[in-house]
Amino acid sequence: NLTEKFDSIFKKLRGHGRLTEENIKEALREVRLVLLEADVNFKVVKDFVEAVRERAVGQDVLKSLTPAQQVIKVVRDELGRLMGEGEDNRLDFGGRPPVAVMLCGLQGAGKTTSCGKLALKLRRDKRNPLLVPADVYRPAAIDQLKTVGRQLDIPVYDSQPDQDPVAICEAARRFAELNGYDTLILDTAGRLHIDATLMGELVRIKESLAPKEILLVADAMTGQDAVNVAASFDEQLSLTGVILTKLDGDARGGAALSIRAVTGKPIKLVGLGEKMDALEVFHPDRMAQRILGMGDVLSLIEKAEAAISRDDAAAMEQRLRKEGFTLETFRDQMQSIKKMGSLDSMLKLIPGVGKALKQAQGSQLPDKEMNKIEAIINSMTPEERRNHKLINGSRRVRIANGSGTKVQDVNQLLKRFTEAQKVMKKMQQLGPKGLKGLMGR
Ligand code: GDP
Ligand code: MG
């Protein structure tokens, strides 16, 4: 899926200490492929990649300490922008009640379900909605909405299948005026494909009722098709927004990206299940994060951190309690860190510790350095690992020879280790919570 794909792209980026224009280019090439595969509209992808390139290249990215993270942030920001981040996506109920909200879309997109969900949401917002069945073609359609209404205890206008849909809507409006309903939710008919007769009917309803909101209900699972449907509905009806349904399935997310970009109309609500409470306000930033699979830029690191399984972390925590922080636990911990990426990124996760260690080391620890440290520790005897104070001058020479390093390297490691041990003691004084922070979640 889209999230996993992005994940692997960024993993590749993460391997680079410094990001070059070439790296960015390569990453963007993959971003483009991933988006196209996810059924994002071709033109949208092109513009998107270009926007990311413009913002990434030349900017602070090349100078930054964590360039990969910055590229990810640019991608995230652009995704958010593409989906309308920062815009007001709330439904508009201004004007004299009853205000009409019209839901339209292809058959099976989720109109009737969304009408019910929306009514429930509005009632929770202290509005007084009336559901209006205006789909007279499918015999069961009116009954379906009536069932939904009964289930939610929300009134449904008593339409008859032999009535004209426009007449139904007009009568429902009079009924609402007389009975104090402030919002009409119009459930219109759908077809399997775009159809001129249906469009004509929807246009007549629009002209007669002047709905404040004309929302296209689109099935996220249909990907690129949803985009084409959105474009033609918008052309005929001038949509005010979109309800994107079935985002709970394994929709590839492409529709969410493209619909907004192609029609310029905001996604206002998303359907996340068949249940009546599974309708949520659309948050472009959350969607961008969902697509990228991260809470924020740093969660890339958190993700990697999860490479240490919960069990690993718990076992390590127990060992640290029992054996204390020795060269042995240090090495094993380092192996876990290696699973997660660089020690440098680990250090940043630990407030205070990162700074302290950096000061102690003067610089960051590259992966090569980590391999060296591992080799040195591996050349020690178990006793030495458990008690580094045993390691005198002659032992240092032996260890250096055994690990193919210099005595200075062994000295430096032991110095670093004693620094780390001090920090570790401080962390342990903080209690299990502080320790957990160090060990990862
Ligand atoms: P309509 O023809 O547009 O009125 O579509 P319906 O409201 O009858 O929905 C068609 C099918 O999609 C039904 O089985 C719904 O339960 C299902 N459905 C609607 N919205 C969602 C959603 O957000 N998630 C899931 N999983 N199913 C949905
Ligand atoms: Mg229906």
CA distances from 391 to 328, 398, 411, 420 (A): 14, 10, 10, 17
Q: Tell me, yes or no, whether 420 and 313 share the same domain.
A: yes
Q: Tell me, yes or no, whether 34 and 130 share the same domain.
A: no
> Do the annotations mark residue 110 as ligand-binding?
yes
- Calculate how far, in angstroms, residue 187's C-alpha sits from the geometric centre of ligand 2: 7
Is residue 70 in some structural domain?
Answer: yes
Q: How far apart are CA 121 and CA 276, in angstroms?
A: 9
Instruction: Give the pLDDT confidence of 90-108 residue by residue, as tens digits.
Output: 999 988 999 999 999 999 9
Q: Tell me, yes or no, whether 142 and 241 share the same domain.
A: yes
> Do the annotations mark residue 125 as ligand-binding?
no
Is residue 297 in some structural domain?
Answer: no
Is residue 294 in some structural domain?
Answer: no
DSSP E strand boundaries for 267-413: 267-271, 279-281
What tokens appear for 347 in the block?
Answer: 């250090």
Q: Tell me, yes or no, whether 343 and 416 share the same domain.
A: yes
Q: Tell me, yes or no, whether 71 and 112 share the same domain.
A: no
Q: What share of the chain is helix, strand, coil (3-state, %, to 5)?
A: 60, 10, 30
> Which of 112, 113, 114 gets mutated to test ligand 1 (max ligand atoms within 8 A of its CB)?
113
Is residue 32 in some structural domain?
Answer: yes
Instruction: Give the pLDDT confidence of 304-363 residue by residue, as tens digits.
Output: 344 445 556 667 677 777 777 788 877 877 776 665 555 554 444 443 444 455 455 544
Q: Tell me, yes or no, whether 108 and 194 share the same domain.
A: yes
Q: Tell me, yes or no, whether 174 and 277 share the same domain.
A: yes
Q: Please, which residues have CB within 8 angstroms of residue 81's CB and are 6 or more apart in sequence? A: 51, 284
Confirm if 31 and 68 have CB atoms less than 8 A apart: no
Among 173, 110, 124, 180, residue whose Cα is nearest residue 153: 124
- H-only helix segments in 15-110: 21-37, 42-56, 67-82
Q: Tell me, yes or no, whether 103 and 71 share the same domain.
A: no
Cα 4 to chain centroid, rounded? 11
CATH classification of the domain holding 8 = 1.20.120.140
Q: Tell me, yes or no, whether 6 and 74 share the same domain.
A: yes
Q: Tell me, yes or no, whether 411 and 372 share the same domain.
A: yes
Q: How far apart are CA 252 and CA 441, in angstroms?
A: 29
171, burial (CB in 10 Å: exposed 0-12, middle 13-18, buried 19+): middle
The ipTM estimated for the assembled molecules is 0.99
Is the Cβ atom of 246 under 6 angstroms away from ligand 1? yes
pTM, two decimals, is 0.65
Q: Tell me, yes or no, whether 67 and 166 share the same domain.
A: no
Q: What is the DSSP string of 17-31?
A: SS--HHHHHHHHHHH
Last residue of a domain, one of 54, 86, 118: 86
Is residue 277 in some structural domain?
Answer: yes
DSSP class of residue 390 equals G
pLDDT truncated to tens, each residue of the chain (441 aa)? 666 666 676 666 655 555 567 777 777 887 787 777 767 778 888 888 888 888 776 654 444 445 566 677 778 788 888 888 888 889 999 889 999 999 999 999 999 999 999 999 999 999 999 999 999 988 789 999 999 999 999 999 998 888 999 999 999 999 999 999 999 999 999 988 888 999 999 999 999 999 999 999 999 888 778 888 999 999 999 999 999 999 887 665 677 778 888 888 999 999 989 999 999 998 887 777 766 653 333 344 344 344 445 556 667 677 777 777 788 877 877 776 665 555 554 444 443 444 455 455 544 455 677 788 889 999 999 999 989 999 999 999 999 999 999 999 999 889 888 877 776 676 666 554 444 454 443
Q: Tell me, yes or no, whether 81 and 118 share the same domain.
A: no
- Calculate how far, in angstroms, residue 274's C-alpha sits from the geometric centre of ligand 1: 6
Q: How far apart are CA 348 and CA 224, in angstroms?
A: 41
Confirm if 339 and 307 have CB atoms less than 8 A apart: yes
Last residue of a domain, one of 62, 86, 110: 86
Q: What percent of the chain has pLDDT over 90?
A: 40
Domain span including residue 168: 99-281
**Overall number of domains in the chain:** 3
Proximal ligand: closest to the CA of 135: 2
